[in-house]
């Protein structure tokens, strides 16, 4: 039987695991696909850094490899926008199906790439791009294709979840925890993509596009990272029975002018009893709420070489089977074409912690400032008294602008010595 030949673009954390698993599982892959699957070449930047790869497979000419006559399928695990985009397009336009783990590219250019794949009659699969090993995109695209999804919410970045878990559980510093996550292969080549929420925003855009049958790009996603989360935020969260997580929240919102899609990524305090609070380390977890199915939870390893390679191989088997059958799978649909709703029109709840003197005197003033800016208070808790007290306030949903104006006004109150923590809150009753 003629093998199906695969061009592997990139051989870093994910690519090296893909290469190893394809070799180790050669017999099973042959049985599952119906033809042997063989890596025909591996494109990298620095061949001297890859002594583990047989020398005859290595090349720095990624475009030459993609368009080589004997190549049937392409796996792109280089990352970033270019040259990944040009290589994927070259593969598609020359009739090769593509498997990618590149969420940054899919969230920026998914529409054009899917259009190119549909035109060429080939597959573009990217299960590994969101939540590592967890089967999530195929369930959204296929299993839930007959349902109406209302909301997708979860932890979709392993690096930031690892950092926040280490800060909360061991008191580790931010830089130390980030260095560990990088060493473990969880972080992006440029870890600011993780820390500043770009990676989670890209994943949010991909999830929202599939869930709501609309073209959502990273630019449509409100994004806040975790670099502003302080040890004080983490400690305050623990004091009120919460933990801090970086969440991606995708919602279909009904409005007078029709439905829209609100997608946001930000750190939030969630109650420790919430199932997402127990998701530690580089694990991811995503809740999907659909009208008929109700609530579904997907959980597993969200980053790292082998877990991600598992998802890549799943896609590789799928596109290889399609190739053997002479067919291509259905791409995602964007027929609903829902517009993106800005964060300014998406009220959220907040936790505000104030360092105050003279508690009895300041309480009324604080309450007045919240009321004046139309931010309604859900709970107020006081720790300490006299000159060394903390006021912990949790609000009902309010627009960002109203909350910011309230905070600015509170900073002018003489008895408020400091605003020590301001963080969004999710999942509190």
Ligand X SMILES: NC(=O)C1=CN([C@@H]2O[C@H](COP(=O)(O)OP(=O)(O)OC[C@H]3O[C@@H](n4cnc5c(N)ncnc54)[C@H](OP(=O)(O)O)[C@@H]3O)[C@@H](O)[C@H]2O)C=CC1
State the catalytic residues: 203
59, two tokens: 């090349």
Report whether 277 contacts 270 (CB < 8 A).
yes
Q: Which is nearer to ligand LTNE7NMQ, 202 or 320 (CB)?
A: 202
Site membership for ligand X, residue 362 (CB under 6 A)? no
Q: Which of 4, 14, 205, 269 binds ligand X (CB under 6 A)?
A: 14
User: At a CB cut-off of 8 Å and minimum separation 6, what does 366 contact?
Assistant: 354, 356, 380, 391, 393, 410, 413, 416
- Given candidates 31, 81, 189, 327, which one binds ligand X under the rule CB under 6 A? 189
Residue 132 touching ligand LTNE7NMQ (CB under 6 A): yes
| Between 152 and 375, CB nearer to ligand LTNE7NMQ | 152
Pairing of strands 416-425, 260-271: parallel
Site for ligand X in 393-422 (CB under 6 A): none
Q: What is the DSSP string of 341-363?
A: PPGGG--BEEEEEEEESSHHHHH
281 is in an annotated binding site: no
Q: Is 247 in the site for ligand LTNE7NMQ (CB under 6 A)?
A: no
For ligand LTNE7NMQ (CB under 6 A), the number of binding residues is 11
If one asks whether residue 299 binds ligand X (CB under 6 A), the answer comes out as no
Rounded to the nearest whole angstrom, what is the least distance from the CB of residue 128 to ligand LTNE7NMQ in the complex?
Answer: 8
The answer to the question of residue 197 lying near ligand LTNE7NMQ (CB under 6 A) is no
- Interaction partner, residue 7 (ligand LTNE7NMQ, ligand X, none; CB < 5-8 Å by kind): none
Q: Does 13 bind ligand X (CB under 6 A)?
A: yes
> Min. distance of Cβ 263 from ligand LTNE7NMQ in angstroms?
17
Q: Does residue 312 contact residue 101 with C-beta atoms inside 8 Å?
A: yes
CB 79 within 8 A of CB 10: yes
Site membership for ligand X, residue 8 (CB under 6 A): no
Per-residue exposure over 94-119, b if at least 16 CB sit within 10 Å of its own CB, e if not: eebbbbbbbbbbbbbbbeebbebbee
Q: In angstroms, what CA-CA distances link 277 with 83, 339, 416?
A: 38, 31, 31
Q: Which residues pair with 288 in a beta bridge?
A: 152, 296
Q: Which 146-185 positions form the footprint of ligand X (CB under 6 A)?
A: 185
157 interacts with, out of ligand LTNE7NMQ, ligand X, none, CB within 5 to 8 A per kind:
ligand LTNE7NMQ
Beta bridge partners of 297: 287
**257, 278 in Cβ contact below 8 A?**
no
136 binds ligand X (CB under 6 A): no
CA–CA dist 300, 283 (Å, integer): 6
| Nearest alpha carbon to residue 415 among 348, 366, 352, 344 | 366
Bridge partners of 76, per DSSP, are: 9, 100
Q: Which does 402 bind (CB under 5 to 8 A by kind): ligand X, ligand LTNE7NMQ, none?
A: none
**Closer Cβ to ligand LTNE7NMQ, 135 or 347, answer by number:** 135
Evaluate the omega torsion of the peptide bond into residue 83 and state whether it is cis, within 30 degrees of 0.
yes
Separation between Cα atoms, residue 136 and residue 201, nearest integer Å: 16
Q: How far is the CB of 65 from ligand X (least distance, A)?
A: 9
| 315 binds ligand LTNE7NMQ, rule: CB under 6 A | no
Strand order in the sheet with 97-100: 58-59, 37-43, 4-9, 73-76, 97-100, 124-125
Q: Which is nearer to ligand LTNE7NMQ, 107 or 320 (by Cβ)?
A: 107
- Partner that binds at residue 194, options ligand X, ligand LTNE7NMQ, none, CB closer than 5 to 8 Å by kind: ligand LTNE7NMQ
- Expressed in angstroms, the distance from the first to the final Cα of the chain is 60
Of 378, 374, 13, the C-alpha closest to 191 is 13
Q: Is 127 a residue that touches ligand LTNE7NMQ (CB under 6 A)? A: no
Between 71 and 309, whose beta carbon lies closer to ligand LTNE7NMQ? 309
Is 185 annotated among the ligand-binding residues? no
User: 159 to 188, contacts with ligand LTNE7NMQ by CB under 6 A?
Assistant: 159, 186-188
Annotated binding site: 9-16, 103, 188
Interface ranges with ligand LTNE7NMQ (CB under 6 A)? 132, 157-159, 186-188, 194, 199, 302-303
Interface ranges with ligand X (CB under 6 A)? 10-15, 43-46, 49, 62, 77-79, 83, 101-103, 128, 132, 185-186, 188-189, 303-304, 308
Annotated binding site for L-homoserine: 188
């Amino acid at each position: 039987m003629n093998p199906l030949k695969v061009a592997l673009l990139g051989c870093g954390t994910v690519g090296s695991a893909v290469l190893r698993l394809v070799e180790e599982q050669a017999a099973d892959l042959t049985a599952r696909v119906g033809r042997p699957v063989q890596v025909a070449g591996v494109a990298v930047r620095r061949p001297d850094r890859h002594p583990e790869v047989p020398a005859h497979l290595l090349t720095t000419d990624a475009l030459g490899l993609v368009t080589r006559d004997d190549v049937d399928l392409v796996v792109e695990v280089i990352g970033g926008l270019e040259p990944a985009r040009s290589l994927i397009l070259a593969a598609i336009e020359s009739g090769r199906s593509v498997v990618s783990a590149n969420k940054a590219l899919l969230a920026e250019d998914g529409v054009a790439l899917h259009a190119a794949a549909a035109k060429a009659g080939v597959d573009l699969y990217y299960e590994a791009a969101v939540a590592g090993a967890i089967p999530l995109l195929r369930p959204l695209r296929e299993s839930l294709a007959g349902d109406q999804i209302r909301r997708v919410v979860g932890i979709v970045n392993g690096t930031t979840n690892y950092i926040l878990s280490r800060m909360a559980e061991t008191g580790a510093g931010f830089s130390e925890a980030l260095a560990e996550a990088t060493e473990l292969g969880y972080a992006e080549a440029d870890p600011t993509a993780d820390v500043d929420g770009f990676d989670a925003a890209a994943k949010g855009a991909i999830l929202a596009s599939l869930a709501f049958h609309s073209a959502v790009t990273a630019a449509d996603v409100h994004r806040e990272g975790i670099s502003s989360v302080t040890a004080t935020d983490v400690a305050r969260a623990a004091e009120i029975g919460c933990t801090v997580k970086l969440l991606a929240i995708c919602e279909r919102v009904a409005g007078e002018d029709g439905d829209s899609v609100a997608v946001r990524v930000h750190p939030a305090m969630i109650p420790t009893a919430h199932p997402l609070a127990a998701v530690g380390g580089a694990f991811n977890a995503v809740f999907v709420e659909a009208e008929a199915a109700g609530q579904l939870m997907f959980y597993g390893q969200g980053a790292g070489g082998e877990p991600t390679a598992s998802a890549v191989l799943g896609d590789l088997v799928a596109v290889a089977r399609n190739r053997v059958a002479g067919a291509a799978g259905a791409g995602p649909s964007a027929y609903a074409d829902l517009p993106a709703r800005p964060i300014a029109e998406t009220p959220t709840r907040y936790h505000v912690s104030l360092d105050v003197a003279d508690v009895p005197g300041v309480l009324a003033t604080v309450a007045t400032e919240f009321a004046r800016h139309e931010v309604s208070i859900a709970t107020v808790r006081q720790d300490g008294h006299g000159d060394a007290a903390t006021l912990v306030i949790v609000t009902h949903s309010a627009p960002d602008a109203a909350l910011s104006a309230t905070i600015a006004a509170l900073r002018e109150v003489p008895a408020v010595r400091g605003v020590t923590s301001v963080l969004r809150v999710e999942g509190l009753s």
